[in-house]
Amino acid sequence: MTLTLMWFRSDLRITDNRALAAAARRGPVVAVYLRALPHWQRHGHGANPLDFRARGVAALKESLAGLNIPLLHRDIDDFREAPAALLAVARELDADALHFNHEYPLDEQRRDAAVVAAFREAGLEARGFHDAVAFPPGELLTGKGDYYGVFTPFARSWHRQLGSEQLALSDTPAPQATMGIAAEALPELPALEDSPIDGRQWPAGEGPAADRLERFLRFRGRHYGRQRDFPAIRGTSELSPYLALGMISHRQCLQAVLAENDGSLAEGDAGLVAWVNELVWREFYRHVAVGFPQVCRHRPFQAHTEGLAWRNDDEGFAAWCEGRTGYPIVDAAMRQLLATGWMHNRLRMITAMFLSKHLLIDWRRGEAFFMRHLVDGEFCANNGGWQWAASTGTDAAPYFRIFNPTTQSSRFDPDGIFLAEWLPALADLPAKARHAPPRDLLGGVDYPPPIVDHKAARARALEAFKALKAD
């Protein structure tokens, strides 16, 4: 008899899951989940992402129960233990194959290669599937055969080569015969250093993810192009946590767009086309992680920025983390992150640029802070976004383009509505004054003066980048 172990990681769904569908075609399936809490904590994952993941696994267990697929749970300290832990389960159950969907950061690739090698050595099959991208990294290359380091030609190539094969949804397995193996209880998440945000903000699982997609496309998708940059408007999909942990697939998203947009992803409604473009960014950064693995080793994509003279400024960093820089748009954004585990994309760009340029603090500190707090924390997108903002990455913002936070605030929150929501102390000021509150208008309001002067900070950052060029 064939029995396949399906190892779930960041693909916590039964719908359109490449590895699971292939496993079910072979015969009976048992699911396994490895929880490596100490490993994740050592790698800076905080309470929000860990809690969302735990709730996602619980939801997956329920979905799998509907297919009579039991989910086994193993705790390990470090992913180096993964080969032995998985082999032990395979031997226990007499399974002859292991399936999983690829993850692309370097450590995850190495972990998976070790698992495949251990299974081979034991005479068992272990197979990875490319599920979270339309094209496996290495399939879209420049004319010279290199990985793309610039987004626009990557996106062009992505659209040109996309066909029915990449878009086809995998079958959800039919319920299998019950097999006398019981699903295991999922242990509670132990108390962590921080406590997670209220999970009701981000209900986990495939159902909530599908609802979000439907609501977004029905009510906001066509306005996306016009609304996506305004944090006071709920103009984006807020699907990132679900995509990051695979509670929904990018194919489900793309198929839903095709249905709404007369069968096209590249033409037709401008809002929907702009949204598809963001899904292509997501894929781009995954290819970058494989093609330029230095980014997975805490290195800048652009080697010449390696020697940038970042400032050691713990006080500045603490003020940024806690949302007390005296720049309301930065502070409101950081408070949104701390309270909801999510931050609007425009604000991620503004806060990341403020830390790396105005404070000239190493972007890697900000990257780690985001990973600790974001419910959607995902290495490739987070690293790509940070390196973009710090002008060290692919397709990066040119070093001389330094957002003026006050101008950004007036432009993207013109009525100061977002500012008032997250900085209630400023809500009584006239809307226009909220972007850079004059001290005399503040009266007794407890709000700090700007931690740095924009012009001076800009000049300092330019100097640091120019010094680099002179080297």
Ligand X SMILES: Cc1cc2nc3c(=O)[nH]c(=O)nc-3n(C[C@H](O)[C@H](O)[C@H](O)COP(=O)(O)OP(=O)(O)OC[C@H]3O[C@@H](n4cnc5c(N)ncnc54)[C@H](O)[C@@H]3O)c2cc1C
- Looking up tokens 């990985």 gives 147
Q: How far apart are CA 282 and CA 18, in angstroms?
A: 19
Catalytic position from the list 81, 345, 404, 421: 345
The yes-or-no answer on residue 278 being catalytic is yes
Residue choice 17, 63, 170, 237 for contact with ligand X (CB under 6 A): 237
The residue among 303, 306, 359 whose CA lies nearest residue 330 is 359
In the complex, the smallest distance separating the C-beta of residue 282 from ligand X, rounded to whole angstroms, is 4
Q: How far is the CB of 159 from ligand X (least distance, A)?
A: 16
Q: How far is the CB of 185 from ligand X (least distance, A)?
A: 30
Q: Which of 62, 125, 278, 421 is catalytic?
A: 278
CB under 6 A: which stretch of 157-165, 232-240, 261-269, 428-436 binds ligand X? 232-240
Q: Which of 89, 116, 197, 244 binds ligand X (CB under 6 A)?
A: 244
What are phi and psi for residue 328, nearest 5 degrees? -55, -40
Kindly report the backbone phi and psi dihedral angles of residue 126, in degrees, each rounded to the nearest multiple of 5, phi listed first: -135, 125
Q: How far is the CB of 385 from ligand X (least distance, A)?
A: 2
Q: Answer yes or no: are the C-beta atoms of 394 and 301 closer than 8 Å.
A: yes
Residues 363-382 binding ligand X (CB under 6 A) are 370, 374, 376-378, 381-382
Nearer to ligand X among residue 119 and residue 422 (C-beta)? 422
Active site residue 310: yes
Here's the x/- map for ligand X, 191-230, by CB under 6 A: it reads as -------------------------------------x--
Q: Are 173 and 21 in contact (CB under 8 A)?
A: yes
Q: Is 281 a catalytic site residue? A: yes
3-class DSSP state for residue 2? coil
Q: Among 238, 331, 362, 413, which residue interacts with ligand X (rule: CB under 6 A)?
A: 238
Out of 71, 95, 239, 319, point to the residue binding ligand X (CB under 6 A).
Answer: 239
Task: Kindly identify the residues of this chain, within the stretch 91-150, that bind ligand X according to CB under 6 A.
Answer: none
Binding mask 379-408 for ligand X (x = CB under 6 A): --xx-xxx--x-------------------
Helix or strand run (H / E) with residue 75: strand 71-75
Quick check: is 158 catalytic?
no
Burial class (CB in 10 A: 0-12, 13-18, 19+), 189: middle
**Which of 68, 125, 310, 404 does the annotation list as catalytic?**
310
Q: Which is nearer to ligand X, 98 or 359 (CB)?
A: 359
Is there a catalytic annotation at residue 320? Answer: no
Based on C-alpha coordinates, what's the Rg of the chain?
23
Sign of CA dihedral 46, 40, 134, 144: positive
Provide the 8-state DSSP code for 303.
Answer: G
Residues 6+ apart with CB under 8 A from 428: 445
Distance of closest approach, residue 100 Cβ to ligand X, in angstroms: 21
Which residue's Cβ lies closest to ligand X?
385
Q: Does 349 bind ligand X (CB under 6 A)?
A: yes
Minimum distance from residue 216 beta carbon to ligand X (Å): 7
Cβ proximity to ligand X, 89 vs 257, nearer residue: 257
Q: Which stretch binds ligand X (CB under 6 A): 14-22, 98-106, 118-126, 344-352?
A: 344-352
Q: Spell out the residues 6+ positions from residue 84 whose beta carbon is closer than 8 angstroms to its own.
A: 118
Task: Tell me, residue by residue from 252 to 291, as one string, x for binding to ligand X by CB under 6 A and - for no binding.
Answer: --------------------------xx-xx--x------
Q: How far is the CB of 18 from ligand X (least distance, A)?
A: 18
**Residue pair 235/228 in contact by the 8 Å Cβ criterion:** yes
What is the closest distance, in whole angstroms, from the C-beta atom of residue 265 to ligand X in the complex? 13
Q: How many residues contact ligand X, by CB under 6 A?
A: 28
CA distance 325 to 312: 16
369 to 95, 337, 365: CA distances (angstroms)? 40, 10, 6
Angstrom distance (rounded) from CA 55 to CA 47? 12
Residue tagged active-site, from 281, 320, 388, 422: 281
DSSP string for 367-425: HHHHHHH-TT--HHHHHHHHHHHTT-STTPPPTT----HHHHHHHHSTT-HHHHHH-GG
- CA gap 127, 119 in Å, rounded: 10
Q: CA–CA distance from 226 to each of 54, 232, 236, 268 (Å)?
A: 35, 13, 10, 15
Q: Which is nearer to ligand X, 381 or 452 (CB)?
A: 381
DSSP type of residue 133: S
Task: Work out which of 63, 170, 236, 409 binds ligand X, going by CB under 6 A.
Answer: 236
As annotated, the active-site residues are: 278, 281, 310, 345, 363, 386
Residues lying near ligand X in the complex (CB under 6 A) are found at 228, 236-240, 243-244, 278-279, 281-282, 285, 345, 348-349, 352, 370, 374, 376-378, 381-382, 384-386, 389
